[in-house]
Amino acid sequence: QQSQASKRKKCRKRNILWFNPPHSVTVDTIIGQKFLELIDTHFPPGHKLHKILNRNCVKVSYCTMRNMERILKSHNKKILQQHSQPAPPTTDGCNCRRSTPCPLQGRCQASGVVY
């Protein structure tokens, strides 16, 4: 059994780096191909980082990255909504805790009331 166990191949998970360029209809360049060509030219087999950065370890994917325009629009919308709209005042109803009738005719939560 020991000879069988020593013959087994070790299963090691590959460390894969994903390159997710933002998608844009106006870009005519094949970004993924150019990126892989840059990896080939700048990390040849003799380079000390070739073990980490080569075509087998780096993958290109367009499916997980949203459009850059959509990312910027959603970010700007979120920031502008926070700054432009103050918290809406609650003016509905009465929140008196007494069982007696409200002294302000049900307008307890109105702003700027002087008691």
Over residues 65-84, the pLDDT tens digits come to 677 788 889 999 998 888 77
Q: Which two tokens stand for residue 110?
A: 């109105």
Given a contact cutoff of 8 angstroms between Cβ atoms, the answer to whether 45 and 5 are in contact is no
Alpha carbon dihedral 95, 98, 99, 105, in 10-degree steps, equals: -50
CB 17 within 8 Å of CB 51: no
Q: Is the pLDDT of residue 89 over 60?
A: no
Residues written for the chain: 115
The overall pTM is greater than 0.75 = no
Query: What pLDDT is attached to residue 65?
Result: 66
* pLDDT tens by residue, 4-60: 656 777 888 878 888 888 777 777 788 888 999 999 999 999 999 999 999 999 988
Please state, rounded to an integer, the average pLDDT across all residues of the chain. 79
pLDDT at 91 over 90: no
